[in-house]
Amino acid sequence: MIKNILFMLLISCFFVACSSGEQQDNQEEKVTDATEQNEKAPSQFGEPITQDGSMSYDDLLAKLAEVDSVNTKVSGTVSAVCKKKGCWMTIASENSDTEMRVKFKDYGFFVPKDIEGRKVIFEGKAYRDVTSVEELRHYAEDAGKSEEEIAAITEPEENYNFLASGVLLLDN
């Protein structure tokens, strides 16, 4: 009787081990498929957005000359990214030295820290604002600026900001 019970336990363990190995193989295949899919598609962060209907950053600057804020979708080139977390990025103008800081809605997502020079599309609210000295120094620290560069920030700045609900990182 004890031999039969031990035999049944041994067979049960064998089937459990085999089936869990199959499940692990299937999970590994799913992860590989998802990785391959992500390498083929643009990277998405935050809420899903498409490339359709975006305006250039320079067109947005012209629009913000007329209004204080606007909900829109914008395409541009990343000039800097927070080096600590990827919790903000700045977008450069092609026609001037005007940059826009893009933050992410509810601090709910981040972008890769190595995307300077990459094209992005982002959707949300653009607005003009005054940034305090304290906040400007914080951004400079996040960007990896030197102590001297940080100390040189002594005046608040009027600038353009964007609160993005979603970002699409395009392939170069």
* pLDDT score of 27 more than 80: no
In the structure, what pLDDT confidence band is assigned to residue 41 with cuts at 50, 70 and 90?
A: low
Residues 6+ apart with CB under 8 A from 99: 79, 80, 90, 91, 92, 93, 159, 160
Q: Is the pLDDT of residue 8 over 60?
A: no
Count of CB atoms within 10 A of residue 115's CB? 19
This prediction's pTM:
0.68
Instruction: Tell me what the mean pLDDT of segment 148-168 comes to.
Output: 95
What topology is assigned to 44-169 in CATH? OB fold (Dihydrolipoamide Acetyltransferase, E2P) (2.40.50)
pLDDT at 24: 45
Quickly state the pLDDT bin for 46 (edges 50, 70, 90).
Answer: very high
Average pLDDT, the chain: 82
Tens of pLDDT, residue by residue over 119-142, are 999 999 999 989 899 999 998 998
Residue range 159-163: mean pLDDT, rounded: 93
Residue 52 has pLDDT above 80, yes or no: yes
**pLDDT score of 2:** 54
Q: What is the structure's pLDDT at 135?
A: 92
CB 133 within 8 A of CB 154: yes
Average pLDDT over residues 54-68: 93
Tell me what pLDDT residue 158 has: 87
Which one has a higher pLDDT value, 15 or 171? Answer: 171
pLDDT in tens, 96-122: 888 999 999 999 999 999 999 999 999
In angstroms, the CA 76 to CA 100 distance is 10
Contact 82, 140 (CB under 8 A): no
| Across 4-9, average pLDDT | 46
